């Protein structure tokens, strides 16, 4: 097995988890933290159960599990498995389980003691999603109150290690690993607001194709831009394999984008932020960065979440550029001026500062606390956001006037979706159309399902005829939601005293 930089600090990680039981690991891209730490831990004397690793995205979770299984010479689902929303491969023999962050949160809420789990590894913690922050807060509470033996390791390339160390408690060491990277050249192409981003990116990719060698990874803000750039490039480079890489495509297409071309041809991968972290794309020597990121922001006044396009942070740009120098010298093209780089935000704002907190508040109510300040956070949720979330949940009948969860709230929290969507499925079940409601909610959550477009009924019709694995899996899950909602509705009807708050 090739020796990676992370191997030099594995003894420190073992000592930290055997002693204090909690630690922070800062490891630059290429160090090997995602795939090397967990296999090392399952051999420790204290590790008698599973090691769970969180991943911010489904494609990264699958890729990490498949890579670790390959390193062990096994099929995925034996010693190493994964669970994502639409896919899972695991067995009674699984010791290392890679999960998306929401999966871990749901597991903690359902059973805070986490029986059979020896360690939690929070990978790519710098992304600061709501589920990552909530999962860590719940894990620390579990460790403090119920499971002193539960080991917790926070891992990332760019986080403020000292802040996380203080959050984990006295004695939690911050361990730093060297990275594995090669020389990287940055080329600044400047900005041109008069030209559409798709045209600028297509032109930049063509420039990189002519000037450099090796495969190209291009970062775009979203699926729409990816498809438009793909159309432009296919017209100019008809014999070149051009792959899309984002969360709305089938796993088989995601795997094809990650791997080298089977015929040895140079390839181009057009990716969303999904490719920033965790993934190593074999053969990539060139990155073309639009400098843009698409984020979800919650409007408290309107009570809705919408997608906005913002300038990517400096940390994000560093992560993206680093993809070019993982396996050899690389080049990164940036579509903005060098002089303006320092004006970009240093880090992206944590999602908890700009997201709808109703799902978080309902989970906490089910956990047993009505006030987020009762838990340890890196950034405590803003009171205005908490108040808006509490009002929304009270309007749904999920919380009573004291912030405690109601029977309706228990039912809504049992469905794996946002509270307003759960209410739609539950009320649909009561009205005899639970499966239709569940399918519509699935379409709202899985944006590429049934094709693109705003007309949900057209997408629903296309989805019904889609036999692809992702579509079939989504159909099965939606049917499960409808069945679960029907049982919950029946249980509520049979309960004599229902809090109607």
DSSP string, 299-361: ETTTTEEEEEEEEPPHHHHHHHHHGGGSSS-EEEEESS-GGGGGGS-SSPPPGGGTS--HHHH
CA distances from 318 to 69, 155, 305, 347 (A): 29, 17, 28, 11
The Cβ-side half-sphere exposure at 419, using a 13 Å CA radius, reads 30
Radius of gyration of the chain measured on its C-alpha atoms: 23
The C-alpha torsion from 244 through 247 and 250 to 254, rounded to 10°, is: 50
Residue with tokens 């109150």: 145
Q: Where in the chain is the domain with CATH 3.40.50.300?
A: 5-176, 184-352
Second-level CATH architecture of 184-352? 3-Layer(aba) Sandwich (3.40)
pLDDT of residue 496: 59
Q: How far is CA 458 from CA 91, 443, 453, 461, in A?
A: 38, 11, 8, 5
First to last CA, the chain: 60
Would the pLDDT of 247 be above 50? yes
Rounded Cα distance, 219 and 273, in Å:
7
CB atoms within 10 A of CB 46: 14
pLDDT (tens digit per residue) in 258-276? 889 989 999 999 999 888 8
Q: Provide mean pLDDT across the span 428-442.
A: 91
Cα gap 372→356, rounded to integer Å: 14
Mean of the pLDDT values across residues 171-183? 85
d(CA 305, CA 297): 5
pLDDT at position 449, please?
Answer: 80
The two three-digit tokens of residue 220, written as one number: 């775009």
Beta carbons of 323 and 181 less than 8 angstroms apart: no
Q: Judge whether residue 500 has pLDDT over 60.
A: no
Topology of 5-176 in CATH?
Rossmann fold (3.40.50)
Please work out, in degrees rounded to the nearest 5, the angle formed at the alpha carbon of residue 349 by the alpha carbons of 347 and 352. Answer: 145
pLDDT over 70 at 240, yes or no = yes
pLDDT of residue 70: 93
Asked whether the predicted pLDDT for residue 382 surpasses 80, the reply is yes
Q: If you average pLDDT over residues 141-150, what whole number do you get? A: 94
Could you read off the pLDDT of 406-431 as tens digits, one per residue?
A: 999 999 999 988 999 999 999 999 89
Q: Which residues pair with 26 in a beta bridge?
A: 156, 176
Query: In the predicted model, is pLDDT for residue 170 greater than 60?
Result: yes
Q: Which of residues 29 and 405 earns the better pLDDT score?
A: 405
Residue 284 phi/psi, 5° resolution? -75, 125
Q: Is residue 472 very low, low, confident or very high in pLDDT (cuts 50, 70, 90)?
A: confident
**For the whole model, what pTM was predicted?**
0.86
pLDDT of residue 321: 92
What mean pLDDT do residues 181-200 have?
A: 91
pLDDT of amino acid 146: 92
| Cα–Cα dist 36/51, whole Å | 12
In terms of DSSP bridges, do strands 292-299 and 304-311 run parallel, antiparallel, or are they unpaired?
antiparallel
What contacts 42, CB < 8 A, 6 or more positions away? 51, 79, 95, 96
Q: What is the pLDDT of residue 137?
A: 95
Highest mean pLDDT among 42-46, 281-285, 373-377: 42-46
Average pLDDT, whole number, for the chain? 89
Percentage of the chain lying above the pLDDT 90 cut: 58
Under the banding of pLDDT at 50, 70 and 90, the label for residue 159 is: low
Which pLDDT tens digit goes with each residue over 303-357? 777 788 899 999 889 989 988 988 889 999 999 999 999 999 988 888 898 889 9
Percent of the chain with pLDDT over 70: 97
Look at residue 268 in the predicted model and tell me its pLDDT. 96
- Buried residues in 195-213 as b, exposed as e (16+ CB within 10 A): eebbebbbbbbbebbeebe
Q: Which helix (H) or strand (E) segment is 480 a member of?
A: helix 469-494
Please report the beta strands in 345-414, taking only residues with DSSP state E, as ranges in sequence order: none
């Amino acid at each position: 097995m090739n020796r990676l930089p992370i191997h030099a600090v594995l003894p420190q990680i073992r000592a930290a988890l055997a002693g204090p039981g909690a630690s922070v690991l800062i490891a630059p891209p290429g160090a090997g933290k995602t795939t090397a730490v967990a296999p090392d831990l399952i051999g420790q004397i204290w590790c008698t159960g599973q090691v769970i690793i969180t991943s911010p995205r489904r494609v990264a979770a699958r890729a990490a599990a498949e890579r670790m299984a390959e390193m062990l010479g096994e099929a995925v689902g034996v010693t190493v498995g994964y669970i994502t929303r639409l896919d899972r491969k695991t067995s009674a023999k699984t010791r290392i389980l890679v999960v998306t962050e929401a999966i871990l949160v749901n597991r903690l809420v359902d059973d805070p003691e986490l029986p059979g789990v020896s360690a939690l590894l929070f990978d790519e913690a710098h992304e600061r999603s709501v589920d990552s922050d909530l999962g860590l807060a719940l894990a620390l509470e579990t460790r403090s109150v119920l499971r002193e033996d539960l080991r917790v390791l926070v891992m990332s390339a760019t986080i403020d290690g000292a802040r996380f160390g203080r959050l984990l408690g006295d004695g939690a060491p911050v361990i730093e690993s060297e990275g594995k990277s090669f020389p990287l050249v940055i080329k600044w192409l400047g900005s041109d607001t008069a030209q559409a981003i798709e045209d600028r990116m297509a032109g930049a990719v063509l420039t990189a194709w002519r000037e450099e060698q090796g495969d190209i990874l291009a970062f775009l803000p979203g699926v729409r831009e990816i498809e438009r750039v793909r159309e432009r490039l296919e017209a100019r480079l008809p014999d070149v394999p051009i792959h899309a890489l984002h969360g709305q495509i089938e796993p088989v297409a995601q795997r094809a984008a990650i791997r080298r071309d089977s015929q040895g041809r140079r390839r181009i991968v057009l990716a969303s932020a999904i490719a920033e972290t965790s993934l190593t794309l074999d053969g990539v020597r060139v990155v073309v960065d639009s400098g843009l990121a698409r984020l979800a922001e919650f409007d408290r006044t309107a009570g809705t979440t919408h997608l906005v396009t913002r300038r990517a942070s400096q940390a994000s740009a560093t992560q993206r550029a680093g993809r070019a120098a993982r396996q050899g010298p690389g080049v990164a093209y940036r579509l903005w001026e060098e002089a303006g780089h320092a004006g970009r935000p240093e880090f992206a704002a944590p999602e908890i500062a700009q997201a709808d907190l109703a799902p978080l508040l309902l989970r906490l109510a089910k956990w047993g606390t009505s006030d987020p300040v009762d838990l340890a956070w890196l950034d405590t949720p803003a009171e205005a956001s908490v108040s808006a979330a509490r009002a929304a949940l009270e309007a749904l009948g999920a919380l009573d006037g004291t912030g405690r969860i109601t029977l309706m709230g228990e039912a809504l929290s049992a469905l794996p979706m946002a509270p307003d969507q759960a209410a739609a499925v539950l009320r649909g079940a009561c009205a005899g159309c639970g499966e239709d409601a569940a399918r519509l909610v699935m379409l709202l959550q899985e944006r590429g399902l049934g094709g693109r477009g705003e007309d949900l009924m057209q997408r629903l019709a296309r989805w019904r005829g889609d036999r692809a694995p992702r579509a079939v899996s989504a159909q099965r899950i939606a049917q499960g939601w409808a069945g679960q909602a029907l049982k919950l509705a029946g249980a509520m009807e049979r309960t004599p005293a229902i809090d109607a708050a």
